[in-house]
Structure 1
Amino acid sequence: MTDTDMSPDAVDVAARAWMAALAMFGTAHPDGFHRAGTNGTSELVTGAPMPLLNGVISTARDADADEMAAFAASPKLKSVAWSVQVRGEQVEDRIVAMAGDHGLRQRMLLPFMLKELDAGDLGKPEADGVKVRRVLGDEGEVYRTVMAAGYEGPEEIFSIFTAPSVMDHVSMRAYLAEVEGVPVATSFGVLVDDLVGVFNIAVPPQHRRHGYGRAATAAVLRDAYEQGARTAFLHASPLGVPLYEAMGFRLTENWTLFTS
């Protein structure tokens, strides 16, 4: 179920901000690319080896199947793992068929969650003994190591997240949570006007269930509020929805993702 208290217009704004955040991240790299169509479709190539961060994405309430099909023919997508993404769980048959024609037949849901920020988000970290600080590109190696451990993947595939052009970007902030100097979690925020996107919440297995991921998330919200953000947005895994709901996020809608 989704939370209907958030207005459709607010969700539309947040969906477009999510796309703007990914476009900002992608084009911070030399080989990144983004283009936008007139009917809400984007082609995104970040270079990250993750289908969620490359592909053809519609942020319109009603995706334009023709525009998506035209963008899906782009040769730029041939060099990356990519996806087709639309808002909502009901997907037009032509979009399903188009995704299948490109070998993208696996279908999954991505919960899209929003939180209205207020002065209460300026509080201290929510886990005892944890300190969360912003890190820049000169600490990219340690950030990458912790993030890779949290996602339980090979470290080299996370290099794209720690380029100085990303970590030192004026609108992007990377955070490292530490306990007695030991890194225990990562987070990442992207400021888009008066909204902030929350990304890269990663906690290595040995440090889980202590509230460190929540503390790292709270740091993103706190700093963004101080910078003028009043709404936070994120994509959660289905299992992660209750954790974010405990922090005040609302499930506004599910997006549908097609991958190979």
Structure 2
Amino acid sequence: MTQQNDPLERIVTAYADAFSHLAGATTGRTRRGAHGSVLAVSGAPTAALNMIVSTTREASVEEIIELADAERLGEEGPPWSIRVRGVPGPEVTAVAARYGLTRHEREPLMLRHSDQGVPNGPTPKDFHVRAVPVDELHVYARTVADGFEAPPELFQVLADPAVGNIDGMTFYLAELGGVPVGTGMTATAGDVAGIFNITTLPEFRRRGYGRATVSEMVRAGHMAGAATSYLYAWDMGRRVYESLGFRTEEYLTVITAPD
């Protein structure tokens, strides 16, 4: 199936490429199959940053096996995931289970199209979003972990200076009076901007900071020539994204090992 008949394939490919670039900068462990599967292993101790992604509607089971075995995934090393579009077929489910991946979660792919322009809305008082220089990536990584309420070591890979030099990838701190209260990240590929790592620290939630951060990410994409924005949403933020004009186009199934 061509991308003309599957317009979302280029979006999912941009998503997979973002993780491939991250893995390329940190470990060099990234591979690409001939049938649309992308392997990206950043080395972080979380399945959120190590994966095989199928960018086509019909995942190639053979290619998933080939990539997983080539990198010896599941034998040793960090947790990882298999990510496929829509509902995985029984063959994908069986192969994932062979590697111990039996937990299935759905993440909505949400798009905000170029004809919607730049979002409007008030910016909270004393609130500011700024790009993070390489020498502050350690602050960014710590704030991401705090925003996700996760151990710091899960996202320490984001403090690697090499990550700050990835072309098209920009890391942001959301600050209130100069104090970090949240994060964001954009990965620009042509006319498409991916939005990642939107967090707000627990004590600062429900004050509009998350919405303001996403608005700034969309504006940053427009300024970079990427007027179409996409993200994979968590339930917590879905209403915020919808209020900014994002709409669910399809779902990604993330298959991981059980906790």
Tell me the TM-score normalized by structure 2: 0.90
Match of 2:70 among 69, 74, 79: 74
Moved over 6 A (4+): none
1:60 alignment partner, SS class: coil
Amino acid at match of 2:13: R
**Deviation at residue 76 of structure 1 after TM alignment:** 4.2
CA distance in structure 1 between the aligned counterparts of 2:160 and 2:142, rounded to whole angstroms: 13
Q: Which residue of 2 aligns with 1:236?
A: 233
Any stretches of 5+ residues in structure 2 without a counterpart?
Answer: none
Structure 2 counterparts to residues 21-40 of structure 1, below 5 A: 21-29=18-26, 31-40=27-36
Match of 1:17 among 14, 17, 20: 14
Q: Which residue of 2 aligns with 1:44?
A: 40
8 Å Cα contact 1:194-1:230 kept in structure 2: yes
Does the alignment pair 1:195 with 2:192? yes
Q: 1:8 to 1:257 in 2, by over 3 A?
A: farther
Q: 1:160 to 1:8 in 2, by over 3 A?
A: farther
8 Å Cα contact 2:130-2:172 kept in structure 1: yes
Does the alignment pair 1:165 with 2:165? no
CA distance in structure 2 between the aligned counterparts of 1:220 and 1:138, rounded to whole angstroms: 21
Deviation string for 1:94-145 (max 9, x for gaps)? Answer: 1111111111111111111111145842757633331111111111232223
8 Å Cα contact 2:138-2:158 kept in structure 1: no
Q: Which residue of 1 aligns with 2:86?
A: 88
Identity among equivalent positions (%) equals: 35
Q: Which residue of 2 aligns with 1:4?
A: none
Any stretches of 5+ residues in structure 1 without a counterpart?
Answer: 1-6
CA distance in structure 2 between the aligned counterparts of 1:174 and 1:81, rounded to whole angstroms: 24
Moved more, 213-222 or 185-194: 213-222
8 Å Cα contact 2:16-2:55 kept in structure 1: yes
Does the alignment pair 1:152 with 2:149? yes
CA distance in structure 2 between the aligned counterparts of 1:50 and 1:118, rounded to whole angstroms: 36
2:56 alignment partner, SS class: coil
8 Å Cα contact 2:119-2:244 kept in structure 1: no
How many pairs align?
A: 252
Moved more, 73-82 or 220-229: 73-82
Does the alignment pair 1:253 with 2:250? yes
Moved more, 159-168 or 7-16: 7-16
Structure 2 counterparts to residues 110-149 of structure 1, below 5 A: 110-117=107-114, 120-121=117-118, 126-149=123-146
CA distance in structure 1 between the aligned counterparts of 2:93 and 2:150, rounded to whole angstroms: 30
8 Å Cα contact 1:122-1:225 kept in structure 2: no
**Deviation at residue 17 of structure 1 after TM alignment:** 0.8
**Deviation at residue 16 of structure 1 after TM alignment:** 0.8
CA distance in structure 2 between the aligned counterparts of 1:119 and 1:128, rounded to whole angstroms: 26
